Amino acid sequence: MIRRDSQNSDSDEAVLIINPNRNLTWQQSKWLFFFFASCCSAVAAYFYSIGAWLVLPFAGLEILLIGIAIYCQSCCAHSQQIIRIDNKHVRVINSGRVESEKCFHKSWLKIIRNRDPSGWYPSRLLIGSHGQFVEVGKDLIEEERETLAHNLKSAIEGI
């Protein structure tokens, strides 16, 4: 999902915020985990009641792995990229587990869209200059990536 913050009248800065598609909130992720854990516990309790006690450690391991998978998915879904474009510079800020920032001079900036010739893999949108490039919008679908490329070009030319 791409949001373009409106430019303030007193500043000449455009801000593009890129978020991956978040299907579940953190509260919904917890409910999903509790649902899967209760189903797995019910099955394990049934097998324990008929004498198959060896199912319990494997059920606990399954609940643990489901919890880890849901947690990792939630952490990855709450990352974002912020692109700040002012009169002279373009800054790309990646926030998530590790925050990083790259700054490029606007007059040397290149926007490159690499497409897979066979069509098997998604395209890549790179911005940068002097041999240093940053991939932006890697969590977006193709249509959103095209919109992002258009928004980037218009924001860079418009300021």
Q: Bridge-partner residues for 5, per DSSP?
A: 15
Phi, psi values for residue 5, rounded to 5°: -70, 140
- Given 62, 77, 92, the domain boundary residue is 77
Q: Chain-wide mean pLDDT for the chain? A: 87
68 and 97 co-located in one domain: no
Cα–Cα distance list, 35 to 32, 38, 39, 69, 125 (Å): 5, 5, 6, 14, 38
Give the structural domain span for 64: 26-77
Q: What is the pLDDT of residues 27-82, one digit of tens each?
A: 999 999 999 999 999 999 999 999 999 999 999 999 999 999 999 888 887 788 89
CATH number for the domain harbouring residue 124: 2.30.29
What's the domain count of the chain? Answer: 2
* pTM of this structure: 0.71
